[in-house]
């Protein structure tokens, strides 16, 4: 069954607030065309359907955007500070942080950080630490304090996984 129920609920949520039949959304550097009557989302750069996990995120984001996005607060919070984040941190660490750190270790670069605008008004900060003789490389993903007003914690995990996959 997978994402089927989540996708269906997300489409229904969007249809409840939508004022247009078609939307265009930028997500992770790509443009997506959202067609409500057809219930489809396509990457306009590749003309391929959006990945299922992207569909849920795009629909949830678009629904919140129509309702009104919160202002970016300019304060970073960790996953542990999200509702339920403390309880699911070990899963987040394995699925996101360790994955990013492994990729970063291969490029052997200096410590760095990068702010990614994953959606308009949704910045995410990715930090990398090179490590030294005592400690291996590490990564952290921080979120603007406004993100819980846009996405639930489960969506935030999926969003961070998408970022980890693309880095």
pLDDT in tens, 75-90: 999 999 999 999 999 9
Are 44 and 83 in a shared domain?
no
- Which pLDDT score is estimated for 97? 92
Are 133 and 95 in a shared domain?
yes
55, 43 in Cβ contact below 8 A?
no
Is residue 130 very low, low, confident or very high in pLDDT (cuts 50, 70, 90)? confident
Q: 39-43, 99-103, 132-136: which has the minimum mean pLDDT?
A: 132-136
- Which pLDDT score is estimated for 155? 94
Which strands make up the sheet holding 30-35, listed edge to edge?
Answer: 22-27, 30-35, 40-43, 48-49
For 56, the 3-state DSSP assignment is helix
Instruction: Inform me whether the pLDDT recorded for 110 exceeds 70.
Output: no
Are 35 and 86 in a shared domain?
no
CA 49 to CA 136: how far, in whole Å? 38
- Which pLDDT score is estimated for 109? 62
Are 87 and 132 in a shared domain?
yes
Domain that holds residue 149: 76-166
Beta bridge partners of 48: 43
pTM > 0.85: yes
Is residue 138 very low, low, confident or very high in pLDDT (cuts 50, 70, 90)? confident
Mean pLDDT of 90-98: 93
Number of domains forming the structure of the chain: 2
Are 159 and 85 in a shared domain?
yes
Are 58 and 104 in a shared domain?
no
Instruction: Inform me whether the pLDDT recorded for 2 exceeds 80.
Output: no
68 against 137, higher pLDDT: 68
């Amino acid at each position: 069954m997978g994402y089927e129920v989540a996708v269906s609920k997300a489409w229904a949520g969007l249809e409840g607030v939508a004022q247009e039949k078609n939307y265009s959304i930028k997500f992770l550097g790509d443009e997506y065309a959202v067609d409500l009557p057809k219930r489809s989302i396509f990457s306009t750069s590749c003309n391929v359907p959006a990945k299922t996990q992207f569909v849920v995120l795009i629909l949830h984001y678009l629904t919140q955007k129509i309702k009104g996005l919160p202002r970016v607060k300019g304060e970073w919070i960790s996953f542990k500070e999200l509702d339920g984040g403390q309880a699911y941190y070990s899963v987040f660490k394995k699925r996101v942080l360790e994955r990013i750190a492994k990729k970063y270790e291969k490029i052997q670069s200096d410590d760095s950080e990068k702010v990614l605008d994953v959606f308009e008004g949704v910045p995410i900060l990715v930090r990398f630490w090179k490590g030294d003789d005592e400690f291996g490389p590490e990564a952290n993903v921080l979120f603007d304090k406004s993100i819980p007003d846009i996405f639930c914690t489960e969506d935030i995990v999926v969003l961070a996984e998408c970022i980890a996959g693309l880095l």
